[in-house]
Amino acid sequence: MARLLVHVEGQTEEDFVNFVLRDYLLHCGYQSVSARIIGNARLRRRRGGIRPWLMVRKDIVNHLHEDPGCVATTMVDFYGLPQHGDRAWPGRAAAVGASGHQKASVVEEALRDDLAHEMGTDFDITRFLPFVVVHEFEGLLFIDCAAFARGICRPDLEPSFSQIREGFATPEDIDDSPVTAPSKRVEELVPGYEKPLFGALAILEIGLDPIRAECPHFDDWLHQLESLVA
């Protein structure tokens, strides 16, 4: 049975893996499932915030070399991924202008190709399954607006959350503009919104099955993870 390590962007995603995904994936057949915040672990007081790809790639490559029985994946937001310069993530600039799901797929394919090149021709590419959230983690919270509102102890905001959700075919389609990205919409309604606290509370209230039902790109990621231990 494989061991799965999810390289995550911040504390909220770490909690999501540990408290929502882990038990499900263990039941699917993984020997262990854990999350690791990308970047320098000694700077964990400054948790979150996306790191340059070269730094992230180094973490992933080291882990794949250290544990030949592991599978590595990622959970990072498309929104906010660096596009240019030495911080850039492969495929991010090329994905501009694509549709929501295509944006993530372009980046994922570029990440896979880049890491495969770094690992060499003998590397089994099925051991690396990159996943990019469309467009960011907060979009998942709009899957069940009543549960979202209950989870952050603001039931009065359910109508406002629902109004946002009804404007898009799926929660993954809520756009990535610096003004109207999911997190920006939440911050406008919830002054002092703290992603690690409120995001974790809300996602625990919503649960995994509704996420899979409403978010096809997320669901496809889980199907791929399941297939590796089927």
Q: Are 67 and 96 in contact (CB under 8 A)?
A: no
Predicted pLDDT of residue 45:
46
Give the mean model confidence (pLDDT) for residues 84-112: 93
Kindly state whether residues 192 and 219 are assigned to the same domain.
no
46 and 116 co-located in one domain: yes
Say what percent of the chain tops pLDDT 70: 95
- The pLDDT score that the predictor gives to residue 219 is 97
The domain in which residue 62 lies consists of 3-134+215-227
Which of the residue ranges 3-7, 130-134, 145-149, 190-194 would you say has the lowest mean pLDDT? 190-194
Contact between residue 12 and residue 78 where contact means Cβ atoms under 8 Å apart: no
210 by Cβ neighbours in 10 Å (0-12 / 13-18 / 19+) ranks as middle
Confidence at residue 100, expressed as pLDDT on a 0 to 100 scale: 78
Q: Based on the fold, state whether residues 54 and 141 are members of the same structural domain.
A: no
**Domain check: are 18 and 96 in the same one?**
yes
Q: Tell me which residue of 134, 144, 135, 138 sits closest to 190, measured CA to CA.
A: 138
Q: Looking at the structure, tell me whether residues 115 and 148 fall in a common domain.
A: no
Arithmetic mean of pLDDT over the chain: 91
Residues 179 and 114 in one domain: no
Rg (C-alpha) for the chain, rounded Å, is 17
Q: How many domains does the chain have?
A: 2
Instruction: Give the pTM.
Output: 0.91
- CB-based contact 69:4 (threshold 8 Å): no
**79 and 94: one domain?**
yes
- Is 47 in the same domain as 105? yes
CA distances from residue 218 to 16, 96, 214 in whole angstroms, order as listed: 13, 20, 9
Instruction: Say whether both 179 and 143 belong to one domain.
Output: yes
Instruction: Looking at the structure, tell me whether residues 97 and 201 fall in a common domain.
Output: no
- Among residues 63, 68, 57, the alpha carbon closest in space to that of 116 is found at 57
What pLDDT score does 48 carry? 47
Same domain, 25 and 129: yes
Length of the chain: 230
Residues 6+ apart with CB under 8 A from 40: none
Q: For residue 185, give both structure tokens.
A: 């919409």
Q: Does residue 221 share a domain with residue 126?
A: yes
Question: For residue 66, which amino acid is it?
Answer: E
- In this structure, how many other beta carbons lie within 10 angstroms of the beta carbon of residue 211? 21
Is residue 9 packed enough to be buried (19+ CB in 10 Å), middle (13-18) or exposed (0-12)? buried
The full DSSP string for 72-99 is EEEEEESTT---SGGGPPTTTTTTTTS-
Per residue in 103-157, pLDDT (tens digit) is 999 999 999 999 999 999 999 999 999 999 998 999 999 999 999 999 999 999 9
